[in-house]
C-alpha cells in the first residue's frame, strides 16, 4: 500500500513538473480564430523578453513560446486560439521541423522592432491598411512625417511604413478630380508651409530630401515597407533627382519637357523601364502601375504567393507565411506592378502570372531591406476617397492583412544569411 501511495505521489509531482514546463502553441492555420491579433500576441511576448519561435511553414506559420500564465491570459483576453502542449510534444514538433527534407524551420524571434508610420498629422479622406492592422493587432507605433525625418529621427526606429503617399510633390495627382475640395486645398497649403518651414522652395524638393533620408535609413540597416502609391512614387522621386517632373499647377512652373530622357532608374529600389505620365490630369504617376491596363473582374482578381525554402531563404519564407496561398486581389492608386517594369534583381513573392503583374516584392538595399505591396486595403476591393475605414473586427483572419503583419515581425528574427 505504501509503495502505491509513493508511486501516486511521484506521478503527481511529475505531472506538476510537466505542466510547469509545458509550452504554448499559437496555431496559424485554419483553426486560428483571430490571425491578426495573434501577431499582437507575438509582439507582446517579445516586449516582455520571453523566448519565442516562429514555426515557419508549420500550420500556417505558428508561434511557440514557453508556458506562461501571462501569455495565456493575453490570448484569452484578445480572443486568440492557443494550445497547451507538453515538452515532449513541443520537442517532437521541433524535431519534425528540423528534418532536412521538410520545408519548415523554427526561427527564433529576439526583439520587438520599434515601428514608425510615415503619415501626415492631418486627417486624410482615406484609410491606411497598416495603421489599421497595427491598431487592431495592438502593436504600438509612432507617427512620423517630414519634420521628424528631416530632423534625423529615423535611426530611432527599426521599421518604417509608407502608405498612400506621393513623394514626387504632385499631391497624389488628385488635381483633376479634387482640386476644389477643401481637403485637397488644405493638404496643398500645409505641404507648402512645411516645405518653406524646412528651407525648401518647393514641396517636390522637400519630398525628394525625405525620400533620400528614407533611402539612407534603409542603407544603414532599416526595414522599409510600402503600399499603394508610396511604392512607385518613392522610386520615381529618386529617379527624378535633379529633374522637374511637376506641372505648373503643382509647383508654379512648367515641367521639364525632356523629363523622360533625364530620369535615372539606377537610383530606384525596384523599378526600371517605365514611362512617366506627363498628363497632370491623369490619376497615375507612370507605366509602373497596372491599374489602367488590367482587365480583371473583381471575382477573378487573385494573386499567388511563392513558396521559398524555409531553411535556405528564411526572409521571403517569413514574409509569405499564410493560411492561404491564393490571396484575393484589391485595388489602389497603385494596384500592382507590371512585370516588365520590375528590376531583374528584385525578388517576386506574389504575382498574377496570367496578367503579367506582380503584387508583392522584396529586395535588399545596403544593410537593410525593403518590401513593396501593391493595392490600398486588402479587405476593401476598391477603397475610394471618403470611404469609411475598414473594420478589421469583421476580418480577423484576413490573408491579405497577414502579409502586412509578417513584415512587422520579420525584423525581430535572428539573422541568417540568405543562401539563394
Model confidence band, residue 127 (pLDDT cutoffs 50, 70, 90): confident
Residue 17 pLDDT exceeds 50: no
Segment holding 52, helix H or strand E: strand 52-56
Kindly provide the b/e burial profile for residues 109-134, where b requires at least 16 CB atoms within 10 angstroms of the residue's own CB.
beebbebbbbbeeeeeebbbbbbbbb
Average pLDDT over the chain reads: 92
- H/E element holding 307? none
Q: State how far the Cα of 344 lies from the Cα of 268, in Å rounded to an integer.
A: 12
Closest CA to 22 of 78, 88, 100: 88
pLDDT tens, position by position, 363-412: 999 999 999 999 999 999 988 787 888 999 999 999 999 999 999 999 99
pLDDT at 20 over 90: no
Structural domain spans, the chain: 2-109, 115-412
* CB neighbourhood size of 183 (10 A): 16
- pLDDT above 90: residue 418: no
Question: Radius of gyration over alpha carbons of the chain, in Å?
Answer: 24
Whether this model's pTM surpasses 0.75: yes
Instruction: Kindly state the cell numbers that stand for 142.
Output: 509612432
* pLDDT at 137 (0 to 100): 98
- Binned at pLDDT 50, 70 and 90, residue 64 comes out as very high
Residues 6+ apart with CB under 8 A from 69: none
Listed range (163-177, 230-244, 326-340) with the worst mean pLDDT = 163-177
pLDDT at position 383 = 81
Q: In the CATH scheme, what architecture does the domain 115-412 have?
A: 3-Layer(aba) Sandwich (3.40)
Say if residues 44 and 74 touch (Cβ distance below 8 Å): yes
What gap in Å lies between CA 53 and CA 106, rounded to an integer? 6
CATH T-level fold of 2-109: Alpha-Beta Plaits (3.30.70)
Q: Which DSSP string do the residues of 71-116 spell out, in sequence order?
A: HHHHHHHHT---EEE-HHHHHHHHHHHH-TTSS-EEEEE--PPPEE
Report pLDDT for 193. Answer: 96
Q: Please report, for the chain, how many H helices and E strands are present, in that order.
A: 14, 15
| Residue pLDDT, tens place only, 135-158 | 999 999 999 999 999 999 999 999
- Residues of the chain by 3-state class (helix, strand, coil), percent to 5: 40, 20, 45
3-state secondary structure of 239: helix
Confidence of residue 416 (pLDDT cuts 50, 70, 90): low
132, 184, 186, 324 from 125: Cα distances, Å: 14, 10, 12, 31
Q: Which residues 6+ apart lie within 8 Å of 344 measured at CB?
A: none
DSSP 172: G
pLDDT at 4: 40
Q: How many CA atoms lie within 13 A of 351 on its CB side?
A: 19
Lowest-confidence segment of 54-68, 192-206, 284-298, 319-333 by average pLDDT: 284-298
Place 37 in a pLDDT band, splitting at 50, 70 and 90: very high
CB-CB contact of 270 with 235 (8 Å): yes
What would the pLDDT profile of 66-104 be if each residue is shown by its tens digit? 999 999 999 999 999 999 999 999 999 999 999 999 999
The Cα 285–Cα 282 span in angstroms is: 8
Spell out the alpha helix ranges (H) of 198-308. 203-219, 229-239, 248-251, 259-262
pLDDT band for 189, please (50, 70, 90 cuts).
very high
Amino acid at each position: 500500500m505504501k509503495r502505491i501511495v509513493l508511486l501516486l505521489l511521484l506521478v503527481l509531482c511529475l505531472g506538476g513538473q510537466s505542466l510547469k514546463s509545458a509550452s504554448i502553441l499559437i496555431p496559424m492555420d485554419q483553426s486560428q480564430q483571430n490571425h491578426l491579433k495573434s501577431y499582437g500576441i507575438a509582439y507582446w511576448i517579445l516586449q516582455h523578453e520571453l523566448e519565442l519561435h516562429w514555426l515557419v511553414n508549420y500550420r500556417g506559420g505558428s508561434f511557440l513560446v514557453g508556458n506562461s500564465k501571462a501569455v495565456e491570459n493575453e490570448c484569452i483576453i484578445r480572443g486568440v486560439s492557443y494550445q497547451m502542449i507538453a515538452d515532449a510534444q513541443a520537442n517532437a514538433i521541433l524535431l519534425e521541423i528540423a528534418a532536412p527534407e521538410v520545408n519548415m524551420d523554427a526561427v527564433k524571434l529576439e526583439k520587438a522592432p520599434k515601428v514608425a508610420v510615415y503619415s501626415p498629422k492631418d486627417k486624410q479622406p482615406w484609410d491606411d491598411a497598416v495603421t489599421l492592422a497595427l491598431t487592431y493587432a495592438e502593436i504600438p507605433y509612432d507617427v512620423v512625417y517630414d519634420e521628424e525625418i528631416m530632423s534625423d529621427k529615423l535611426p530611432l526606429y527599426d521599421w518604417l511604413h509608407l502608405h498612400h503617399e506621393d513623394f514626387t510633390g504632385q499631391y497624389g495627382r488628385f488635381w483633376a478630380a479634387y482640386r476644389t475640395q477643401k481637403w485637397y486645398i488644405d493638404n496643398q497649403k500645409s505641404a507648402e508651409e512645411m516645405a518653406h518651414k524646412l528651407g525648401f522652395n518647393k514641396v517636390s524638393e522637400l519630398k525628394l530630401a525625405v525620400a533620400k533620408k528614407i533611402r539612407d535609413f534603409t542603407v544603414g540597416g532599416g526595414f522599409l515597407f510600402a503600399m499603394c502609391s508610396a511604392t512607385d512614387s518613392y522610386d520615381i522621386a529618386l529617379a527624378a533627382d535633379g529633374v522637374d517632373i511637376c506641372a505648373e499647377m503643382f509647383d508654379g512652373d512648367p515641367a521639364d519637357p525632356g523629363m523622360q530622357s533625364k530620369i535615372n532608374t539606377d537610383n530606384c529600389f525596384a523599378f526600371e523601364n517605365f514611362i512617366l505620365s506627363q498628363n497632370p490630369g491623369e490619376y497615375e504617376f507612370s507605366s509602373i502601375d497596372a491599374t489602367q491596363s488590367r482587365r480583371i473582374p473583381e471575382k477573378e482578381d487573385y494573386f499567388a504567393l511563392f513558396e521559398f525554402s524555409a531553411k535556405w531563404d528564411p526572409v521571403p519564407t517569413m514574409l509569405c507565411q499564410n493560411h492561404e496561398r491564393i490571396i484575393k486581389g484589391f485595388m489602389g492608386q497603385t494596384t500592382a506592378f507590371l512585370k516588365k517594369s520590375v528590376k531583374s534583381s528584385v525578388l517576386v513573392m506574389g504575382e498574377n502570372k496570367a496578367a503579367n503583374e506582380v503584387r508583392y516584392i522584396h529586395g535588399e538595399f545596403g544593410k537593410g531591406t525593403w518590401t513593396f505591396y501593391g493595392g490600398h486595403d486588402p479587405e476593401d476591393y476598391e477603397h475610394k476617397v471618403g470611404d469609411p475605414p475598414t473594420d478589421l473586427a469583421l476580418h480577423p483572419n484576413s490573408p491579405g492583412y497577414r502579409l502586412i503583419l509578417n513584415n512587422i515581425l520579420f525584423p525581430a528574427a535572428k539573422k541568417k544569411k540568405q543562401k539563394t
